Amino acid sequence: MLTKAQRLKDLIDKVVYDLLNNVLCYFDFKHRCKKQKIKMIRHIVRLRRYEHRYVQPAFTFSALQFLSFTKTALPQIHLTLHTSQLSMTESLNKEDVMESLSAIQITERGNRRVGNQCLLKLTSGAELHQSLTLKGVNQCSHISCVTSDRVWVSDYSNIMLTDTTGVPLHRVEDLWMCLFRGLHTVNSESELIYIDRKRNINKLSKDMKRTTTFKETTYSTWEPECVYWSPSTGDLLVGTRNYDTETGKVTRYNQSGQLTQTIQNDNTGRGLYGEPRYITENNNGDVVVSHIYKDYNSGAVVVTERGGRHRFSYTGHPSGSGLRPRGICTDALSHILVCDRWTKTVQMINKDGQFLSHLLTKPQEMGAPWSLSYDVNTHRIWVGLPNNNKVCVYRYITRQDALTDEHRPRPEGDPLTPPHNTTHQLNKNEHRPRPDEEAMSSSTPAV
List, for residues 169-222, the tens digit of each pLDDT value: 999 998 888 878 999 999 999 999 999 999 999 999 999 999 999 998 876 778
**Average per-residue pLDDT for the chain:** 78
Residue 440 CA to residue 341 CA, distance in Å, equals: 7
Residue 371 CA to residue 300 CA, distance in Å, equals: 16
Residue 381 CA to residue 363 CA, distance in Å, equals: 14
Residue 126 CA to residue 264 CA, distance in Å, equals: 35
Greatest mean pLDDT range, 68-82, 272-286, 288-302, 352-366 = 272-286
pLDDT digits (tens, 9 = 90+) for 37-87: 888 888 888 887 776 666 545 454 555 566 665 555 555 444 444 444 444
Higher local confidence (pLDDT), 363 or 270: 270
Instruction: Give span(s): CATH 2.120.10.30, the chain.
Output: 120-399
Sheet with 275-281, strands from edge to edge, namely 275-281, 287-292, 299-304, 310-314
Asked whether the beta carbons of 185 and 234 are under 8 A apart, the reply is: no
- What proportions of the chain, in percent to the nearest 5, are helix, strand and coil? 15, 35, 50
Asked whether the beta carbons of 400 and 119 are under 8 A apart, the reply is: yes
Q: Which of 131, 170, 138 is nearest to 380 (CA)?
A: 131
Which pLDDT belongs to residue 185?
A: 97
Asked whether the beta carbons of 327 and 393 are under 8 A apart, the reply is: no
Q: Is 299 exposed, middle or buried (0-12, 13-18, 19+ CB in 10 A)?
A: buried
Neighbouring CB atoms inside 10 A of 96's CB total 14
Residue 139 CA to residue 386 CA, distance in Å, equals: 5
Mean pLDDT of 81-95: 48
**Domain spanning 120-399: which superfamily?**
TolB, C-terminal domain (2.120.10.30)
